[in-house]
Amino acid sequence: MAFIEIGNNISISKKAWDGSGQEIFVPNLINIISTLHEKFEPRRQKLLKARKERQQKFDAGSLPDYEDKNSEACTGNWKIKNIPQDFMKRRVEITGPVNDPKMVINMLSRNGEGFRADTAMVDFEDSMKPSFDNVINGIKNVIAASHGNLRFEKTNSSGKVEKSYVLNPEDMAGLMVRVRGLHLNESNLKINNTPIHGGLLELAACFYHTSKILLKKNKTPKYYIPKCEHHEEASWWNDLFTEIETLCGYNQPTLRATFLIETLPAAFQVEEILFAVKEHIIGLNVGRWDKIFSDIKVLKNHPDRISADRATINMQKFWMDHYAKRLIKICHSRGAFAIGGMSAFTPGSDEEIRNFQTEKVFQDKSYEAEIGHDGCWVSHPYFIGHAMKAFTQDNQLSVTLEDFDKHPDLIMDGKGPRTLDGLRTNIRVGIAYLRGWNQDLGCVSWDNLMEDLATLEISRAQTWQWLHHQIKLESGETVTKDLINNLFNEELTNIINEHELDNNNEIKNEYMKAKDLAFSLFTQEKLDDFLSENSDLY
């Protein structure tokens, strides 16, 4: 891999620089990134080390718990900074990968029925594989969307334009950018031969290139922060926000953020996290899928906390219900939004499936609205109008759940079915998702669900946990490596038959390669914390 110097001790992969890199990494931004890295990277590494130390204690038998319930964060008379007017209504948020211009346009625009999401979160994380090509294209799309001139032309095999997709700058959803989490490195941009933090890259590049454009239009530069685990990590992000603002010439909080509470440790620190970012925060989000992954990962060595089939873990499970209501109660008492989670359904290929999926989404969103969320997530434009029907008010900041104890039980109970079908589902997701991953995709539509990195991680961690404890399934089989291997082979055959791939060796080989990779990852001796913590070299 060839790297070239683009600044003092800063190097970038030559292929990226010769492509679109020079459009993005102008000298001022290079200097900003260098300054941020030097100031914040040592502290980031200490935070990542603290994560591992906490997990070692959990692996040894301890459980996550609340910290000081009498701290200023928990008992003080404080509120977050006022929510900007352009983000006072977030009933339905749509999400998807930032690198695909057509998808970004569709997320920001009205759907075929005339419904538009209030806000759109364009994503550098769970729904986008962080190849550097995708990262660069994502930054370019954010810049164009900020200007309101993003466009995409669909061409046929002869190069003729069949359809054009354009934004209407006067009728766009509110633009939000989710950056990569604290643990993710960008391998294609190095300072002193050390990869920089991926989230720092996206935050600095997007804010530098778009803040003045947005502010001129009376729009707030708005970001989503994923996978925070501790209030000290939240403080790190808050300090990073302030430093970026200062380096870009702003002397007051300009950038605003929503944090995803999608890890088990963070669920115990909702108020402390909110307090740590009170000058920049707008709200918190119930990131249910990554939370399920975190529940399994954190408790993976606990034989009395073995997870049930993924399909049975919903928001009605007491520990999930408590986690959502705790977030609502705390956020609203402090003046912040409490955004609900993702319904991962896709519209379905026929009317019967579509109607079933639509009813499921409406039921899910109705429950979220009933308990007090201000808004929710959907993964497909088709569901925007149906989700809107559940949220009839601009927000529900007045809902404070006075009778709910804000320190409830948040630990998964380890009860529920563990079935052969559940194991097959995990294996099918592994094959399908990793086939997409190998093609530079971060999300795939599969078996009428949208599978992204979070749902892949649930499947990976749960299969590993069941194997590690060699649990007995309801049908009598013991989960062993041989059983998992047999099921991988069976499901590969099923996929080939279902998609009629016998005569398509290229696609068949892609699924075979994905099957081998998934089997290796799902049955490794030690469960990795994440599928990957480094981007692919470009």
What positions carry a catalytic annotation? 178, 452
- Confidence (pLDDT) at 156: 84
Helix spans in 60-176 (H): 72-75, 101-108, 132-147
Helix (H) / strand (E) containing 165: strand 161-166
Contact of 336 with 80, CB cutoff 8 Å = yes
Tokens of 494: 């099923």
Nearest CA among 333, 342, 331, 395 for reference residue 364: 342
Strand pairing of 375-378 and 92-97? parallel
Q: Which fold has domain 420-522?
A: Malate Synthase G; Chain: A; Domain 4 (1.20.1220)
HSE-up (13 A, CA, CB side) for residue 366: 8
Helix (H) / strand (E) containing 445: strand 443-446
Q: What 3-state DSSP class applies to 379? A: coil
Q: What 3-state DSSP class applies to 174? A: strand
| Residues 377, 283: Cα–Cα separation, whole Å | 14
- Confidence (pLDDT) at 21: 84
Q: What 3-state DSSP class applies to 330? A: helix
- Confidence (pLDDT) at 531: 97
How do the pLDDT tens digits run along the chain, 538 residues long?
689 999 888 999 888 888 788 899 999 999 999 999 999 999 999 999 999 999 999 999 999 999 999 999 999 999 999 999 999 999 999 999 999 999 999 999 999 999 999 999 999 999 999 999 999 999 999 999 999 999 999 888 788 888 999 999 999 999 999 999 999 999 999 999 999 999 999 999 999 999 999 999 999 999 999 999 999 999 999 999 999 999 999 988 999 999 999 999 999 999 999 999 999 999 999 999 999 999 999 999 999 999 999 999 999 999 999 999 999 999 999 999 999 999 888 998 889 999 999 999 999 999 999 999 999 999 999 999 999 999 999 999 999 999 999 999 999 999 999 999 999 999 999 999 999 999 999 999 999 999 999 999 999 999 999 999 999 999 999 999 999 999 999 999 999 999 998 888 999 999 999 999 999 999 999 999 999 999 987 7
Residue with tokens 């997990």: 55
**Those residues with Cβ within 8 angstroms of residue 93's Cβ, 6 or more apart along the chain or in another chain:** 117, 118, 119, 120, 121, 176, 339, 375, 376, 377, 378
Please give the DSSP secondary-structure letter assigned to residue 381: G
CATH architecture assignment, domain 3-390? Alpha-Beta Barrel (3.20)
Angle at 290 between CA 101 and CA 360, to 5 degrees: 75
Nearest CA among 190, 187, 185, 136 for reference residue 19: 136
- Confidence (pLDDT) at 7: 87
Q: What 3-state DSSP class applies to 194? A: strand
Helix spans in 156-230 (H): 198-216
Give domain limits for the chain: 3-390, 420-522
Q: Kindly report the length of the chain.
A: 538
Q: Hey, what long-range contacts does 59-63 have (CB within 8 A, 24 or more apart)? A: 59/300, 59/301, 60/301, 61/301, 61/302, 63/299, 63/302, 63/411
Helix spans in 116-230 (H): 132-147, 198-216
| Residues 395, 402: Cα–Cα separation, whole Å | 18
Strand pairing of 375-378 and 185-191? unpaired
Asked, colleague to colleague, whether 3-390 and 420-522 share their fold, the answer is no
- Note the Cα 9 to chain centre separation in Å: 32
- Confidence (pLDDT) at 292: 98
Beta strands in 361-442, from DSSP E residues, in sequence order: 375-378
- Confidence (pLDDT) at 537: 79
